[in-house]
Amino acid sequence: MLERPASGNRAVLVQLDFGDTLIADRLAELELLASSAGAQAVALVQGRRQAPDAALFVGKGKAEEIAAAARANAADIVIFNHELAPGQQRNLERLLERRVVDRNALILDIFALRAKSHEGKLQVELAQLEHLATRLVRGWTHLERQKGGIGLRGPGEKQLETDRRLLGNRVKMLKERLRQLEKQRKVRRRARERQEIPVVSLVGYTNAGKSTLFNALTKAGAYAADQLFATLDTTSRRVYLREAERSLILSDTVGFIRDLPHAVVAAFHATLEETANADLLLHVVDASSPEREAQIAVVDRVLDEIGAGQVPRIVVWNKIDATAGEPAVERDACGNIHRVLLSARTGAGLDALRDALAGQMFPVLSANPVTPPQSDSSEST
């Protein structure tokens, strides 16, 4: 597995500009990613290139600058905010004489920190193994020792081939376990469908405030923090809507991010499939972010990738308390709800969102509301 940086590890951050207009936002995101993984950023190295260098990604001169920064700041890790080819990573580690981590490995490492459930841990391990498979040189023989390696290796089989075979066996086992868990999830989904309970899924860019909104609507007390990927494991709760005197299931899951590693999308396919099967998506947007439009585009691309592009959705502009905005419900030319402005932290606009949910999911009932029963407690599903 990827060796996670210990808290306080000193890191040199590297960001190249290939003509990206959002370079400032990418730098801010890199710093937050590094701190979320437990690294302490001690230096930042930037540069401009037309295209990545085939051998070192950054070129020989820039690599020497990174090495000098690492020595001057006693750094023990170099983090690239880019995807490195296996050969580039190996060449950089030899030249810099330090561990090199690219963006994909960094995100996967944060996932490993956040995963709490059994399924979440399996998904993260699978994503890490599939990412590392292309970088395998040695280091997987511990699996052989765990299985009692005597007699396991074939005649004349090279060590690297043994490691790859053992890695392949582990990946196969993880996929089988996840298939079994997916079957269990489908059974629960069919049970909800028989009860005609609609499912609403929260989606959005990481750190947009999905978990804070989830807690505000359900009183669930799910973990929420001002950090990337604070939520990884899917959490679902039943929410009672007074306006329609009906309940729905609200689900909170992992946030999206630009350049989300393909290994993550593949490993979390079963979990993300829940989003594609939802009746409605609440796309939570950080209204205070200057890059909110770019983040919306990232989420839309990921939703298309996982087959959720056609699911009806309501855009929720969260954190209006940070923009001095006012809660509101905006409708399109046809009168359909397009966007709800609110603050999950202060509660401003939550009633409007509940009205919007009732009108979207139970239009006939919400048009003729009746006095609901006294009990209004959220319950786990």
Phi, psi of 175 (to 5 degrees): -65, -35
Give the CATH number for residue 299: 3.40.50.300
For residue 61, tell me if it sits in a domain.
Answer: yes
- Mark whether 296 and 362 lie in a shared domain: yes
Cβ neighbours of residue 225 under 8 Å, at least 6 residues apart?
A: none
Record the pTM.
0.74
Q: What separation in angstroms does the CA of 235 have from each of 124, 175, 184?
A: 17, 22, 15
Domain match, 92 and 154 both: no
Question: pLDDT in tens for each of the 381 residues of the chain?
Answer: 444 444 458 999 999 998 877 788 888 889 988 988 889 999 999 999 999 999 999 999 999 999 999 999 999 999 999 999 989 999 999 999 999 999 988 988 888 887 777 887 888 888 888 887 777 654 444 444 444 444 444 444 566 676 777 788 888 898 898 888 878 877 776 776 666 788 899 999 988 999 899 999 988 665 555 555 655 567 788 888 887 778 898 988 777 888 777 777 766 766 677 788 889 999 999 999 888 998 999 899 888 888 888 999 999 999 999 998 899 999 888 888 889 999 999 999 999 999 999 888 887 544 444 444 443 433 433
Which range of residues forms the domain containing residue 24?
Answer: 9-101
Q: Both 140 and 250 in a single domain?
A: no
Instruction: Report if residue 129 sits inside a domain.
Output: no
